[in-house]
Amino acid sequence: MAALERDRAFAELRGWRLVAVAGTEARGWLHDLVTADVRTLEPGSARRTLLLTPTGRIRADLHLATHDGGFLLIQDPIQTEAVDAILSPYVLSSDVELDDVSERFAVFAVLGAAEDGVASHEVAPDDTGTWSPSPLGVGAGLVVGAGEPARRLRAALAADLTEASPEAIEWWRVRRGLPRMGVDFGTDALPAEAGLESAIDLTKGCFLGQESVAKVRNLGHPSRAILSVRSDAPMEVGSPVHSGEVVVGEVTSVAPDAVTHAIVRVRWDAAATPLSTPRGPLFLR
């Protein structure tokens, strides 16, 4: 955890789904489906993007990167619906190929100040693809062949950085107030309540769920909000969050330390009121 605080850490994102998207129509096809601007995505760059239902609910929260002349969709395995299963019905007669390459490649994230060396291939083997930001939202992302190439990359990174465990990465995520699909919100959530409006390009001509997103924006706000909070008292996932005497939400993630950091999901109309758990008051971060 200390290495994460000093921006000198890396992590292998074991088990994350990797779906390659190729074909002459791949760029335009993706652009018309996901919320991010795919048309202007350049080599070495990546964007967070969403797949929405027709009613604007989040169906998948993804990392979209350029890769090998096409694109790579990277998905947290805690999400129950695989992105290739969602997208397959939309291929139809388009010149687009979806290929689950999760078993053939390994994906890494290098966090913080260490990313410059990785991006310039100072520590990465020649067959490593790099982009920025990483699937964790900051730093650099790397993809390399599974097996020996991944072992060589891990050794190269470990010569200068500390490998962070999944538990440490989760602590780091909660401390920074980064909501995670499948933990802090589910498929019933709207992008606005999950704080993910930045993953939507509002200048696009179309994407799945666009009309519903516009409707929420015109109405002003969703019904719930996800907040990053701290407390001097211990908290537990699932604990109720109160506004006065009324239960208005619950704790969804906790990172225990000297001052407890957490993520909570509450009613929108209670988000600006004094909040507490049964053990003590909460303070917005």
User: Which CATH number does 2-173 carry?
Assistant: 3.30.1360.120
pTM recorded for the entire structure: 0.91
Edge-to-edge order in the sheet of strand 260-267: 280-281, 276-277, 240-243, 246-255, 260-267, 224-231, 283-284
Per-residue confidence band for 126, with pLDDT thresholds at 50, 70 and 90: low
Q: Tell me what the mean pLDDT of segment 129-136 comes to.
A: 91
Return the CATH fold of 223-285.
Elongation Factor Tu (Ef-tu); domain 3 (2.40.30)
Q: Which pLDDT score is estimated for 202?
A: 85
pLDDT digits (tens, 9 = 90+) for 142-192: 999 999 999 999 998 998 889 999 999 999 999 999 999 999 999 999 998
Break the chain into its structural domains and give their ranges. 2-173, 223-285
Edge-to-edge order in the sheet of strand 129-131: 129-131, 140-145, 105-111, 9-12, 162-163
Per-residue confidence band for 29, with pLDDT thresholds at 50, 70 and 90: very high
**Distance separating alpha carbons of residues 82 and 256, to the nearest angstrom:** 31
pLDDT digits (tens, 9 = 90+) for 241-281: 999 999 999 999 999 776 899 999 999 999 999 999 999 99
User: Could you give the C-alpha distances from 126 to 85, 101, 142, 203, in angstroms and in order?
Assistant: 32, 19, 12, 37
pLDDT reading at 4 higher than 70: yes
Q: Which pLDDT score is estimated for 6?
A: 72
pLDDT reading at 17 higher than 60: yes
Q: Which pLDDT score is estimated for 113?
A: 55
Question: Cα 262 vs. chain centroid, distance in angstroms?
Answer: 17
Q: Which pLDDT score is estimated for 125?
A: 52
Q: Which pLDDT score is estimated for 121?
A: 41
The answer to whether domain 2-173 and domain 223-285 are alike in fold is no
pLDDT digits (tens, 9 = 90+) for 92-113: 999 999 999 999 999 999 986 5
Q: Which pLDDT score is estimated for 120?
A: 42
pLDDT digits (tens, 9 = 90+) for 57-86: 999 999 999 988 899 999 999 999 999 999
Look at the alpha carbons of 207, 212, 217, 218 in this order and tell me if their dihedral is positive or negative.
Answer: positive
pLDDT digits (tens, 9 = 90+) for 32-50: 999 999 999 999 899 999 9
Per-residue confidence band for 213, with pLDDT thresholds at 50, 70 and 90: confident
